[in-house]
């Protein structure tokens, strides 16, 4: 099972199952996304012309996190499908707030695991 997970502040928000095939119309839409991004993607003060696949992926990941925040289901679906099909080794897209800024990271080396609560026990309460 090959799952791509969108993670916001440690919690899984969206999970995409790569084993489910996309319809021809959806695949065509992803091709059009690629063609449009090839013409340039916004970055800082200007545009990046002829972006690399990694630059495109980062742009789409940024769009994904914005879509999650605004609950834009269509953009979420398109973004997750794009990332899942174009980056088969990608396991997570994570977003964390730090100093009022959103940091988005593409994670290739580890599957998502939900945070686990750790309960500490005073030594005198341990059974021997």
- Give the contacts of 118 (CB within 8 A, at least 6 positions apart): none
Sheet containing 3-8: give its strands across.
Answer: 11-17, 3-8, 92-98, 101-107
* Ordered DSSP codes for 32-70: HHHHHHHT-EEETTEEESS--HHHHHHHHHHHHHHHHHH
Q: Is the pTM of this model over 0.75?
A: yes
Structure tokens at 86: 């174009």
Amino acid 44: pLDDT: 78
Q: Express each pLDDT in 72-125 by its tens digit.
A: 999 999 999 999 999 999 999 999 988 888 999 999 999 998 877 788 878 887
Contact 93, 11 (CB under 8 A): no
């Amino acid at each position: 099972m090959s799952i791509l997970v969108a993670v916001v502040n440690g919690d899984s928000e969206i999970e995409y199952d790569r084993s489910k095939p996309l319809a021809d119309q959806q695949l065509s839409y992803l091709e059009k996304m690629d063609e449009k991004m090839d013409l340039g993607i916004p970055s800082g003060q200007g545009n990046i012309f002829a972006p690399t696949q990694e630059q495109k992926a980062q742009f789409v990941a940024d769009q994904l996190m914005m879509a999650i925040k605004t609950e834009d289901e269509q953009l979420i679906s398109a973004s997750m499908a794009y990332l899942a099909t174009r980056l088969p080794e990608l396991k997570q897209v994570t977003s964390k707030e730090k100093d009022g800024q959103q940091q988005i990271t593409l994670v290739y080396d580890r599957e998502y695991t939900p945070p686990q609560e750790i309960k500490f026990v005073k030594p005198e309460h341990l059974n021997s």
